[in-house]
Amino acid sequence: MNKQTIRDVDVHGRRVLVRVDFNVPMDKSGQITDDTRIQAALPTINDLADRGARVVLVSHLGRPKGGPEARYSLAPVAARLSSLLGKEVKQAPDCIGPEVEAMVNALAPGDVLMLENVRFHTAEEKNDPEFAAQLARLGDVYVNDAFGTAHRAHASTAGVASYLPAVAGLLMEKEITVMGKALAEPERPFVAIIGGAKVSDKIGVVKNLLAKVDTLIIGGGMANTFLRARGYAMGKSLVEEDKVDLAAELMAQAATKGVQLLLPTDLVVAAAMAADAERRVVPANEVPEGWMALDIGPVTAESYRQTIATGKTVVWNGPMGVFELEPFARGTEEIARAVAECPGITIIGGGDSVAAVEKAGVADRITHISTGGGASLEFLEGRSLPGVEVLAARRHTK
C-alpha cells in the first residue's frame, strides 16, 4: 500500500481524529445485534491509545433525516466499545461545537471519546468545507479507518483531510493491501465469484475482473440475464432485458481473453418468491413458463465447488440466490463452504456474502472478510475511493 499509516506518525499526547465505521445493525430496542465493525476497529483504537494518543472517534449511524434522532445516537456504540476496551469511552453530545471541543481538549493520553452521529448534520454528506473545518478543530492528526465509507466523499471521510495530516488506520491498511494484492498480483489460478440480483449493479466489477481473472463464476439473479443471452426462456425469472446484449458482449469478451465464464447448468425454480411456494430443480434451459429461478441447482453448486477448489486466489461478492428465504439458500451456503475449504487466499468482498459465510459458520476459515459493501464493490471495479485518495502518500526511502 502506498499510503502512510498510523505507524508513520508520532501520536503521543496528540488529538487523533479517527473516522471509524460504526454503522452497526440494531434492533428496535436499540440493542446492537452485530458488533463486527466495532471489533474490526479495535486494533487501530488500541494502538493509538497505547501510544498515548487522545483518541476522538467519528462515525455515522443509519440515515437520520436532517437532524438528531434518538434511535440513531451512537451512545449504545460507545457503551459497547467501553465494554470491549475495558475502559470508559466518553460520549459527546454532538460532533462539533465549543462543548465538544472542550471535551476533546480535556482528554488525557490514552483516553477515548465518541462523537455523536456525524450525519445529524446535513453538511456531512454535502462535504461542506466549513463543517469539515469544524471537525478538524478536534484533531491534530486525521486517521481514516472506515473502509466501508471510503467510497463516499463526505466531510468526515474526505473533506477533513484538507485541514489535517491524514493517514490510514490498521483496518484500512489491511483492506487495501489484501484486496489490492488480489487484483494487482494474484496467485493463480484467480477465481472470482459474482452474484446478486442485477447485472446492472455489477457491470463495472465484471468488466474489471475479466481483465484479471482466470475463471469468472456467475450466480444469483444476474445469471438469468446471461442465460437469456444464450437464448434460454427464463419464465418469470428476474431478467434485465435491456442488459441481455451487454451480457452477450461480456461472454464474448471472456472468450476472447481466454477467461472461463461459468453459468448455472441447473436451477431451483419456484412458482412464487415465497418460502412455502412449490419448487423444483430444472436444467437451466428448461425454466417452466410462469416459474422463476431463485437459486443455483445442486449440479451447478458441485461444479462451482470443484472450480473454487482449484483457486489460489478466490474473491466472492454476491449471493447465488434469494438466500434470505431458507428453501433458496442452499446454493449460497454451498459456495460459502466451498470458499472456506479452498486452500488458497480467499476474500469475501463485503455485502451479503459476509452474511452468508457467517450463517454457514465458516467465517473463521476465510483469509479476509471485507467490512465494506459499496466500497468493496467499487474497489473491485478498479475505481479510486475518495476516502483513500486523500491520505498522505508513503515516503519512499532509498
Query: Residue 362: is its pLDDT beyond 50?
Result: yes
Q: What is the pLDDT of residues 107-118, one digit of tens each?
A: 999 999 999 999
More confident residue, 103 or 373: 103
**pLDDT for the residue 116:** 98
**pLDDT for the residue 377:** 80
What is the chain's Cα-based Rg?
23
**pLDDT for the residue 396:** 58
**pLDDT for the residue 398:** 43
**Active-site residue among 374, 382, 383, 394?**
374
**Active-site residue among 15, 37, 119, 174?**
37
Average pLDDT over residues 12-34: 94
Q: Judge whether 13 counts as a catalytic residue.
A: no
More confident residue, 199 or 227: 227
**Active-site residue among 321, 351, 372, 387?**
351
More confident residue, 372 or 33: 33
Q: Identify each DSSP E strand in the chain by its residue range.
A: 15-19, 54-58, 89-91, 112-114, 141-144, 166-168, 190-194, 215-218, 260-262, 266-270, 279-283, 292-296, 313-317, 345-348, 368-369
For residues 275 and 323, give the distance between their C-alpha atoms in angstroms, rounded to a whole number: 11
Q: Is the pTM of this model over 0.95?
A: no
Query: Residue 397: is its pLDDT beyond 50?
Result: no
Could you name the CATH architecture of 6-173? 3-Layer(aba) Sandwich (3.40)
Instruction: State the cell numbers at 159.
Output: 473533506
Look up cell 459493501; give the residue.
Answer: 373
Instruction: Provide the residue ranges of all domains of the chain, joining segments of one domain with +.
Output: 6-173, 186-381
165 prior amide bond cis, ω within 30: no
Cβ atoms of 264 and 223 closer than 8 Å: yes
Percent of the chain that is helix, strand, coil (3-state, to 5): 40, 15, 45
Q: Judge whether 37 counts as a catalytic residue.
A: yes
Cα–Cα distances in angstroms (integers) from residue 290 to residues 47, 269, 271, in the given order: 58, 10, 7
Q: What is the pLDDT of residues 293-350, one digit of tens each?
A: 999 999 999 999 999 999 999 999 999 999 999 999 999 999 999 999 999 999 998 7
Looking at the DSSP bridge assignments, the partners of residue 18 are: 57, 143
Cβ atoms of 147 and 21 closer than 8 Å: yes
Q: Judge whether 374 counts as a catalytic residue.
A: yes
Amino acid at 126: K
Two domains, one topology: 6-173 and 186-381: yes
Q: Judge whether 351 counts as a catalytic residue.
A: yes
**pLDDT for the residue 167:** 98
Q: What is the pLDDT of residues 194-217, one digit of tens each?
A: 999 888 888 889 999 999 999 999
Q: What is the pLDDT of residues 132-151, one digit of tens each?
A: 999 999 999 999 999 989 99
pLDDT band per the 50, 70, 90 thresholds, residue 372: confident
Instruction: Give the number of other Cβ atoms within 10 Å of residue 211's Cβ.
Output: 11
Which option is the CATH number for 186-381: 3.40.50.1260, 3.40.50.150, 3.50.50.60, 1.10.20.10?
3.40.50.1260
**Active-site residue among 90, 137, 198, 359?**
198
**pLDDT for the residue 379:** 86
